[in-house]
Structure 1
Amino acid sequence: MASQVKRRYDASGRQQAAQANRRAILNAAQELFTTRGYAATTMHDIAERAGVALDTVYATVGRKPAVFLELVETAISGTDQVVPARQRDYVRAIRAEPDAAHKLEIYARAIGDIHSRLAPLLRVAQTATHPEVREVWQDIARRRAANMRELAQDLADTGQLRPDLDLNEIADIIWATNSPEFYCLLVEDRGWSPERFTTWLGDTWRRLLLA
């Protein structure tokens, strides 16, 4: 029995150490990417800043494009882990809400939170010349577009949307206005507060989409 307890303890300790290393690696990469830029940051830099061996970075997260993707994914989820879209709390709340206006309010708040975390990484992507960074960002945009088709259908099922808009138009309108690029234009470039952006976004969607 004592050996079983010890094995469980050892496994738990190793898991906690691995999680701590992963957090340290991602924190280091976030800091270096946003201050030095993607190209100027090496994997050795990340390992040194995180206080781990270089092999640990590769084994824990992967190559540099994988590190950047992990930063984007965790910024979207708002946790230390990648969370699939349908399992995120705000998506579940949207699906459970019967009223279209309230669905849009929930989503606008979620977008404000997500993009406050994503904005620094957008700047990294915009200044990076590496094709793998552009590929990561384009893949995220494609995934958002697919998710917006599901949101459009969920909104349409309430029977509260404008009858002259089809599902593709609804999805495209939300996709364009919920982009991190759009957030940065108003919040970073034009000086809006994140709270103002969130309120405006929810109000704009209601005006554009609801009957």
Structure 2
Amino acid sequence: MAYDNGRRAAAARRTRACILRAAADLFLANGYGATTIREVARAAGVSQETIYKSTGGKAPLLKAVWDVTLAGDDEDLPLAARPEAQAVRAATNPDQAATAYAELAAVVSARTDPLLRLLLGARGSDPALGEFADEVDAERLAGSSAVVRHWFAAGWIRPDLTAEKAGQILWALNSPGPRWHLLDIGWSSAEFTTWLADTIRRSILA
């Protein structure tokens, strides 16, 4: 019975991964508003009922696609526990910390920017996208604040800043707006990563 349960769980995971890939492709190709559960089901080769059971409706499906895109895969491992994020916590001085954070931001943005640009650009067209944007912003702020609390405990934050204020500054620096503005006028990803690391050092680190 344990073997059968394991086989069913593996099959369910493969089905869910197929659904998320199909949904991601359709969201990128057609936009959120024009993508239907019926189309996702057809592309994934499953029934609509399977999608609803696996991920819920379209808004939860979008969030599931986002989570997998953010992490880079569908493994049950949060971004904070992954090697690129662990490198930020493993830094032994402020300079290393700023560089590691900027490099983490580069890895994550390379995965998420195509989807994020599309969704944020259309957020006024659907309440679900507005809620998605708010949730993504809140998650970024929570992540930035967690990093800064670690730096604050290490004594690396400027003495004139609270941990809360420094977390908000880091969140703002790593928001999509500054990155997209600079990339869109011709900066390379490497140039932006260098700028971000330098700006973090100057803005919040002692």
- TM-score of the pair, normalised by structure 2: 0.88
Distance 2:31 2:111 in 1: 17
- Indicate if the aligned counterparts of 1:70 and 1:82 stay in contact, CA closer than 8 A: no
Q: Is the 8 A contact 1:118 1:180 kept in 2?
A: no
Contact between 1:149 and 1:171, CA under 8 Å: does it hold in 2? yes
Distance 2:76 2:103 in 1: 20
How far residue 37 of structure 1 moved from its aligned partner, in angstroms, is 0.8
| C-alpha distance in 1 between matches for 2:204 and 2:111 | 27
- Deviation (angstroms), 1:66: 0.6
Q: 1:86 to 1:117 in 2, by over 3 A?
A: closer
Letter in 1 for 2:190: E
**Identity in percent:** 34
8 A contact 1:25–1:46 mirrored in 2: yes
Distance 1:92 1:127 in 2: 33
Letter in structure 2 aligned against 1:209: I
Instruction: Tell me which residue corresponds to 1:205.
Output: 200
Partner residue in 2 for 1:4: none
Which residue, out of 55, 58, 62, partners 2:52? 58
* Structure 2 residue matching 1:162: 3-state secondary structure: coil
Aligned partners of 1:183, 1:18: CA distance in 2, in Å?
37
**1:173 counterpart letter in structure 2:** I
Q: Distance in 2 between matches of 1:142 and 1:175?
A: 10
Q: Which residue of 1 aligns with 2:108?
A: 114
Which 4+ residue blocks in structure 1 deviate beyond 6 angstroms?
none
Mapped partners of 1:182, 1:75: distance in 2: 21
1:67 aligns with 2:81: no
Q: Which residue of 2 aligns with 1:139?
A: 135
C-alpha contact (below 8 Å) 2:91/2:100 kept by paired residues:
no
Tell me the distance in 1 between the aligned counterparts of 2:134 and 2:57: 19
Once residues 169 and 99 of structure 1 are traced to their aligned partners in structure 2, the CA distance between those partners, rounded to angstroms, is 20
How big is the shift at 1:47? 0.6
Please name the residue that 1:77 is paired with.
71
Gaps of 5+ in 1: 1-6
- SS class of match (1:98): coil
Q: What is aligned with 1:172?
A: 168
1:184 partnered with 2:180: yes
In 2, distance between residues paired with 1:32 and 1:25? Answer: 11
Please state how far the C-alpha of 1:36 moved relative to its aligned partner.
0.6
Asked if structure 2 preserves the Cα contact closer than 8 Å seen for 1:100 and 1:158, the reply is: no
Q: How many residues align?
A: 204
When normalised by structure 1's length, the TM-score is 0.86
Higher radius of gyration, 1 or 2:
1
